[in-house]
């Protein structure tokens, strides 16, 4: 596939992740305080799904650097440092049915989300860039990709981190409801 096709595919994936994030947040918030578990339909698959999101994000970043030959900026590297371990530990935890991974994955996802938000802000407002990225590699303020006028690489990472966090929250709700109902 051409790079143009892949850019569109990645951008649509980010928007789909946003729709899922907003949908799951809405379901969870509307279901709070009710006896019925709003995330029952996700029971047993939340860690698998979150791991799949992380693997897709990792594969996308590897495609962009290794196949499309885009050089990651410093902030992109920090986002990778947060995402890649999540892509490894969540599928293992899902396979082992180990919900204890939530805290560790959530910490990495929050850090990655923060870096992605800052990176996206620098792209939207280049005057915020102190120039620290350009000293080592490409400038953080110059987007390689800008689909639909707003979807850039850090926006894609932001979308993946946000969806992973909402899925970890759904896993927590499912786990706490299981403990409460079995007691």
130-159, pLDDT tens digit by residue?
A: 776 766 678 888 888 999 999 999 999 999
Q: Summarize the confidence of residues 63-89 as an average pLDDT.
A: 95
C-alpha span between 44 and 62 (Å, rounded): 29
- The residues spanned by each domain of the chain are 3-182
Residues 6+ apart with CB under 8 A from 9: 1
pLDDT at 111: 98
Angle between helices 102-124 and 153-182 (to 10 degrees): 150
Residue of higher predicted confidence among 34 and 2: 2
Q: Summarize the confidence of residues 1-29 as an average pLDDT.
A: 94
> What is the residue-wise DSSP string for 108-173?
HHHHHHHHHHHHHHHHH-GGG--STTTTTSS-TTS-S--BTTTB-HHHHHHHHHHHHHHHHHHHHH
Provide the mean pLDDT of the chain.
90
Least confident interval from 9-18, 89-98, 115-124, 128-137: 128-137
72, 76, 82, 87 alpha-carbon torsion, rounded to 10°: -50
Name the pTM for this structure: 0.91
Q: Summarize the confidence of residues 172-176 as an average pLDDT.
A: 84
pLDDT, tens digit, 9 for 90 and up, residues 16-36: 999 999 999 998 888 776 777
């Amino acid at each position: 596939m051409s790079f143009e096709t892949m850019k569109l595919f990645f951008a649509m994936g980010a928007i789909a992740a946003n729709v899922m994030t907003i949908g799951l947040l809405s379901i969870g918030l509307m279901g709070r305080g009710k006896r019925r578990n709003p995330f029952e339909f996700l029971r047993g698959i939340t860690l698998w799904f979150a791991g799949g999101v992380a693997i897709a994000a990792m594969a996308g970043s590897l495609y962009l650097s290794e196949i499309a030959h885009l050089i990651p900026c410093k902030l992109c590297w920090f986002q990778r440092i947060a995402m890649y371990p999540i892509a490894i530990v969540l599928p293992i935890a899902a396979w082992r049915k180990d919900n204890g991974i939530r805290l560790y994955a959530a910490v990495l996802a929050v850090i990655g989300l923060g870096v992605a938000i800052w990176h996206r802000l620098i792209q939207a407002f280049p005057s915020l860039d102190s120039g620290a990225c350009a000293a080592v590699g490409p400038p953080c303020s110059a987007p390689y990709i800008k689909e639909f006028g707003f979807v850039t690489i850090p926006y894609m990472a932001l979308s993946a981190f946000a969806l992973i966090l909402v899925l970890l929250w759904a896993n927590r709700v499912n786990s706490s409801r299981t403990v409460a109902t079995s007691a």
